[in-house]
Amino acid sequence: MLFKLTGSSCSGKTTLAYAVGERLERVAVHDFDELGVPEGADRQWRHRMTELWVRRALEYQDRGVDLLLTGQSPMGEVLASPSSPLLDGIAVCLVDVSDELRRGRLTMRDSGRWDSAAVDAFLGWAAWHRRHAEDPRYRPDVIIDDSWHRMAWHRWTGWTADDRRWCTHLIDTTDQSVAESVDQVEQWVAQRRDALRSGHLALARGWSDQKATRTNYGS
């Protein structure tokens, strides 16, 4: 199963993932960018790398291990990746933080690297993530335009916000400690694993062939 922690930079995704990985059994933790980010990396690069990581998740799946992956690919990109329907299950969590804190963390972590326009772009990307997590119909062009030709956007572009498969979980780290956020990620993983075992996971294998359903049970 693939567990994806997504969101814009400096929300705490990587810190939480590796902390949770120390608590869980049968899980491998990786960061999306650990293989390197080329100069001029664009959305087509991100789409190709998302597929690479989905395939890595399938390799772990064959060994009975889940993949907990951090990175900025949102729900729509994960679902559109060519190999994603082969996964036993998919769960996506948006790790978010207030714009004020994100701006401060960018300044502290990468002092002098980003000008005000670049920081504003990170904040805009974060705002888009929030809306995308709520509704698949919100500005899909942001990830679809000029995309990698193998992406299967048709799998979800006809969905609405009340389709139970569109189920990005939200963890806002703004006003809580790292320990509290780690607890929430651990609970989310446990709940989704239980949902998969009980047959109630919305994004279990076969999700791409289902007709729209508008119940929230087991999402």
Q: Is the pLDDT of residue 217 over 70?
A: no
pLDDT in tens, 57-108: 999 999 999 999 999 999 999 999 999 999 999 999 999 999 999 988 888 7
- Domain residue ranges in the chain: 2-209
**pLDDT value, residue 118:** 85
State what percent of residues in the chain have pLDDT above 90. Answer: 86
pLDDT bracket for residue 23 (50, 70, 90): very high
Closest-CA residue to 129 (of 77, 80, 191): 77
Side-chain-side CA neighbours of residue 36 (13 Å): 2
Res. 132 pLDDT band, cuts 50 70 90? very high
Is the pLDDT assigned to residue 215 strictly greater than 80? no
CATH number 3.50.20.10 is the correct assignment for the domain at 2-209: no
Question: Burial of 50 by CB count in 10 Å (0-12 exposed, 13-18 middle, 19+ buried)?
Answer: buried
